[in-house]
A and B are shown apart, each in its own frame.
Chain A
Amino acid sequence: MCSGRVDLEFIHRAFANGMDGVFIVGCRLNECNYITHGNYDAFGMVHIFRKLLMHIGVNPLRLRIEFMSGGEGILFAEVMNDFGKKVEELGPLGESEGIDGNILTFNLEAIKTLIPYIKLVERERLRVPVKSEVEYNKFFASDEVNRVFNELIIDKLAISRIMQLLYEKPRATGEIAEMLNLNPSEVSRHIKDSTRQGLVRYDEGQKRFALA
């Protein structure tokens, strides 16, 4: 089994179980034991999941990937000690970020439902053309990729969370914005789009938005 086998869902499950940090270690880049070079895929996936964590207000440093060989005991110990220390400094997941436990669970659940879709977007738009550590970091930090990512994934995530909230009961824009830690104007934009698509309607009586 290759580190490329590590699924978005695995990382998700660890955080959903309340783990304060997730560490993935793969073979050294460009030294694949298969011909797969799947550690690059794991690397790309970590980039993606970190962006998602950031979006829901969780410190992305809680997720880390490193590449080393089985013979690098000293390096492994160093990295693990460092990661352990950093995670301890960060404190318990959610709590130390000031996120309510229920909201965190709610947000993580929203990410989970989106995983199949994220995989499709990854395949179509988020493949890094050159296999090198530098290029991967550059790619995922670039404005263009961030734009695509926000448009295709983050917006989708926001909408799916709004829908989930409206599914529970009709709510006002401000209330939604506060619950999801989003900008009210952003929430309005999503609601407007969704209204236009016929998914959401404005309930005049309650002065709230509701599912159509």
Chain B
Amino acid sequence: MNKAIHIYFAQAIPLVTYIDESCIYLKEKKCRICSAVCKSNAIDFNQTPEKVEIHVGAIILSLGLEPFDPKLRDEYGYGKMKNVVTSMDYERLLCATGPNMGEVLRGSDSRHPHKIAWIQCVGSRQVIPGGNSYCSSVCCTYTQKQVILTKEHSPEADCTVFHNDIRSFGKDFERYYERSEKLPDVRFIRSYVSIGREIPESKNVTIKYSTPDDGVKEEEFDMVVLSVGLNPPADFKGLASTYGIELNHHGFCKSPSENPMATTRSGIFVSGAFQGPMDIPEAVITASAAGSQCGEFLDYRRGKLTRERIYPLERDVSREEPKIGVFVCHCGANIGRIVDVPSTVEYVKTLPNVVYAKEQMFSCATNSAKEIADLAKEMGLNRVVLAACSPRTLEPLFRDTLREAGINQYFLDMANIREQCSWVHSKEKEEATRKAKDIIRMSVARACFLEPLSEFDLPVNKTALVVGGGIAGMTAALSIAGQGHEVHLVEKDSDMGGMARRIHYTLDGLDVQKFLADLVRKVYQHPLIHVYLNAEIKDASGYVGNFITKVTTERRAIEIKHGAAIIATGAEEYKPSEFLYGNDDRVLTQLELEGRIANKDDSLINSSTLVMIQCVGCRNEERNYCSRICCSQAVKNALKLKEMNPGIDIYILFRDIRTYGFREDYYREASNRDVKFIRFVPEEMPVLEAVEEGGRRILRVTVNDIILGRKLAIDADIIALSAAVIPQADTGDVAGLFKVTLSPDGFFKEAHVKLRPVEFGTNGVYLCGNAHYPKHISETINQAYGAAGRALTLLSHEIVRASGSVCEVHENDCVSCGACITACTYGAIEFHDTPKGKKAVVNPVLCKGDGLCNAKCPTGAIYLKHFTNEEILSQIDAAAPVKEIMQKIGAAAADV
């Protein structure tokens, strides 16, 4: 759904247009319209591919994925019926830069579809020619996102999702699923479906499906979206031979399960979906992780090719009047399609202190940023307002632009006219333009009061502290130590290994105990790693690059100075209070079951019937999340038992089977080996009772079989409960010590799910493993390397920069009331003695800039730099244009 000349995607690097093979000129030597309209003569049809030779020490393959092509399967009607689209097509339709500028229109008649259906698992979980046997992991959640976005585009839309299991296994996904499900006119229907026919007049499409209540039905939809799965990259075989690596039988990269970043060839690493289907946060984590492995691999050459960036000297503008330059970004069509950018620029030129205003197609493009810097120098600008997107992603880039222009980077203000204007007011163009002007006027007002701030350099202690000696902590410690840094590894238990000590094998055949023993040995043997067992953290103070943590062990108390900390404290297995657990020794948790399987417990192996109950203690009101690993864990234990005793009857009572990714193959295998899967709903939980019949002690499980439509009673010898994975009991204490945040479910909360997935908002503190959220061993290893990689970006530098936007105190105004000190949860403020008595003083490296103290200070003595009262009040004043206020006052006066 692109023209021949287009930008690959909105965030592509470099962000330039290119011409693809569909160009008529390239094919038929016709057209050339683009080169006629291009004023910069940038179009050169004579370019040919060229070969470039680059010498590198290591390679990271981030080859990504290819969406499944539903044309391969005739039955979807894709390519034949105009109103059947793939989820990728639909994503483009929803996108403001898409073919209809963000309007969802039908292919057949360009009308808005009212009734839309999604079909899940297209190309996934199918053992058929052209299909993939694995689960693509991401489709359930991206479909929910598309439903939510559709409802945002058109609240009346009627959305139906035909699905198999709902696999919302990621952090916070369960809530997201509930959110989409609860929207009005949204239906989630669990059914296999087939596309019926296209109705000749309306070009609507029918879908046949069946539900236990209503039987088979055929329903008409205006549009059908195929939630296509993830294939390996196109030409994966060719790529594999180019790089000399092996692939798994699905065509993705073959990696050992103890190191998912490694390929079969030394020096070549893999990150992202080429490892296997994964979502964005995981792809970002594996990118950091592969980076850390390259760091280990090339450590002997570290720093040999780096060049320091030199900025021009900062101009002193303290005696100048504000001279503001405003750049209004079209963001392609994102802003320009809604907001009248030229008239906005004209308006901006009338604002006080604005000496220059200009529109730009993409302000973030390299040439635009350079233009800003050049113009700032040429026009003598001393403040820059960028009317574009949210500062979240691009503020650092534009700050850098200001530095290039020799202006202090805090003289930048971003007016968000995209997320807060054009995107939300796409149907009200005039009002949106007015609002954009309001937003920019407020930003200009604030810019007048901006002050130059200096970021200060802090030395970095090159040592790391790792809290937690499980797989996550040990892996991270080894990766950091492998790059020449000392690591202190603190474990509260008397032994290393954590939860992994109770895990014996994985679905893909890893011998966990052997792997663990090897890992522990490597940790102990590493000269740079110091291990503390039975250790307790008493206190943690300091700040990024310079932490001091007090640890006591049985024998001594020590003080560790370190530059970075990695929190890898793991998780616990929930001790069920339901299903007779604790009252009947035949009721086990999955970990206990695994332990008995590993011990070859005869009474277990020779039992005749075993029932597993999933989602015990989670996906409920108290713990509204999915523990992610238990479905695979149940399948794993079931397969192992079947291997030892093929005659054993195993039932798995589940809500949704969430064996995502390649684990799906094992679910199928279990099913083929006659493990019986019975679905239940939370409204009708299975009931377990211990009964005696004919002198035999029986555990009787009663469950309503939805498919059969009747109650089943299963007499079992053993019950295995898939108990939730819950945060460690002391998670809150650790969070308090290191001043980091927790998610609503009690796991540690990363700074940003996609942008900073292994770090905390508190600088210099990182996280990995189950402490973040339940995960499989291979995922833990990914994340541990990821956290190590991020920690290394700090530890490998001599200094770290701390933000200039921190609090400071006007001592003359301070009345020593202490309100700010009680307000500061970071302990950044204290009293110090001055000739005028006790006055509050801020330690700027501890201050996180939340600014709560400002609102508590009765005299306005403490102020948050970059967000001062003056700056904010000027914005509030500018929100209501003077003219309007005057009119109001005039009207009121007339009334009197």
Contact B822 A1 (CB under 8 A): no
Q: Which of B817, B852, B893 contacts A2 (CB 8 A)?
A: B852
Contacts of A74 in B (CB 8 A): 148, 151-152, 155, 183
Contact B152 A5 (CB under 8 A): no
Give the CA-CA distance A94 to B893 in the complex, in Å. 13
Contacts of A18 in B (CB 8 A): 880, 884-885, 888-889
Tell me, rounded to whole Å, the shortest Cβ–Cβ distance linking A26 to chain B.
12
Contacts of A199 in B (CB 8 A): none
Contact A6 B849 (CB under 8 A): no
Interface residues on chain B, number (Cβ under 8 Å) = 50
Among the 9-residue stretches B83-91, B286-294, B372-380, B855-863, the one with 4 or more Cβ atoms under 8 Å from chain A is B855-863
Contacts of B394 in A (CB 8 A): none
Contact A95 B858 (CB under 8 A): no
Give residues 827-863 of B contacting A (CB, 8 Å): 848-852, 854-859
A91-120: contact bitstring with B at CB < 8 Å (1 yes, 0 no)? 010110000111000000000000111011
Contact B879 A14 (CB under 8 A): yes
Contacts of B856 in A (CB 8 A): 41, 119, 122-123
Q: Which of B741, B825, B892 contacts A101 (CB 8 A)?
A: B892
In the complex, residue of chain B having the shortest beta-carbon distance to the beta carbon of A32? B741
Give the CA-CA distance A37 to B183 in the complex, in Å. 29
Interface residues on chain A, number (Cβ under 8 Å) = 42
Contacts of A34 in B (CB 8 A): 741, 761, 825-826, 848, 850
B856-877: contact bitstring with A at CB < 8 Å (1 yes, 0 no)? 1111000010010100110011
Give the CA-CA distance A9 to B850 in the complex, in Å. 17
In the complex, residue of chain B having the shortest beta-carbon distance to the beta carbon of A74? B152
B743 at interface (Cβ–Cβ under 8 A)?
Answer: yes
Contacts of B893 in A (CB 8 A): 101
A30-B855 contact given A5-B864, A10-B876, A19-B879, CB 8 Å threshold = no
Tell me, rounded to whole Å, the shortest Cβ–Cβ distance linking A114 to chain B.
11
Contact B885 A7 (CB under 8 A): no
Tell me, rounded to whole Å, the shortest Cβ–Cβ distance linking A56 to chain B.
16
Contact A94 B892 (CB under 8 A): yes
Give the CA-CA distance A9 to B880 in the complex, in Å. 16
Q: Which of B855, B859, B879 contacts A41 (CB 8 A)?
A: B855
Give residues 306-329 of B contacting A (CB, 8 Å): none
Contacts of A125 in B (CB 8 A): none
B744 at interface (Cβ–Cβ under 8 A)?
Answer: yes
Q: Is the interface of A mostly helix, strand, loop or mixed?
A: helix
Give the CA-CA distance A38 to B852 in the complex, in Å. 6
Q: Which of A7, A37, A92, A100 contacts B855 (CB 8 A)?
A: A7
A134 at interface (Cβ–Cβ under 8 A)?
Answer: no
Give the CA-CA distance A2 to B864 in the complex, in Å. 11
Contacts of A14 in B (CB 8 A): 876, 879
Contact A17 B876 (CB under 8 A): yes
Give the CA-CA distance A149 to B744 in the complex, in Å. 33
Contact A17 B869 (CB under 8 A): no
B486-527: contact bitstring with A at CB < 8 Å (1 yes, 0 no)? 000000000000000000000000000000000000000000
Tell me, rounded to whole Å, the shortest Cβ–Cβ distance linking A34 to chain B.
5
A45 at interface (Cβ–Cβ under 8 A)?
Answer: yes
In the complex, residue of chain A having the shortest beta-carbon distance to the beta carbon of B875? A10
B819 at interface (Cβ–Cβ under 8 A)?
Answer: yes
Give the CA-CA distance A1 to B872 in the complex, in Å. 12
In the complex, residue of chain A having the shortest beta-carbon distance to the beta carbon of B882? A17
Contact A36 B854 (CB under 8 A): no
B424 at interface (Cβ–Cβ under 8 A)?
Answer: yes
Give residues 5-64 of A contacting B (CB, 8 Å): 5-10, 13-14, 17-19, 30-38, 41-42, 45
Q: Which of A10, A33, A92 contacts B741 (CB 8 A)?
A: A33
Give the CA-CA distance A35 to B736 in the complex, in Å. 9
Residue contacts A-B, CB under 8 angstroms, 26 given: A2-B851, A4-B823, A4-B851, A5-B864, A10-B872, A13-B873, A17-B876, A17-B879, A18-B880, A18-B889, A31-B743, A33-B761, A34-B848, A36-B825, A38-B851, A41-B852, A73-B152, A73-B424, A77-B424, A100-B896, A115-B858, A116-B859, A119-B819, A119-B855, A120-B817, A120-B858
Q: Other CB < 8 Å A-B pairs besides A4-B823, A5-B851, 12 of them?
A: A1-B867, A8-B855, A14-B879, A19-B879, A30-B744, A36-B825, A36-B848, A37-B825, A38-B852, A73-B148, A101-B889, A101-B895
User: Which residue numbers of A lie inside 8 Å of B, CB to CB?
Assistant: 1-2, 4-10, 13-14, 17-19, 30-38, 41-42, 45, 73-74, 77, 92, 94-95, 100-102, 115-117, 119-120, 122-123
Closest 10 CB pairs of A and B: A5-B851, A101-B892, A4-B852, A116-B858, A2-B850, A38-B852, A119-B858, A17-B880, A36-B850, A34-B850
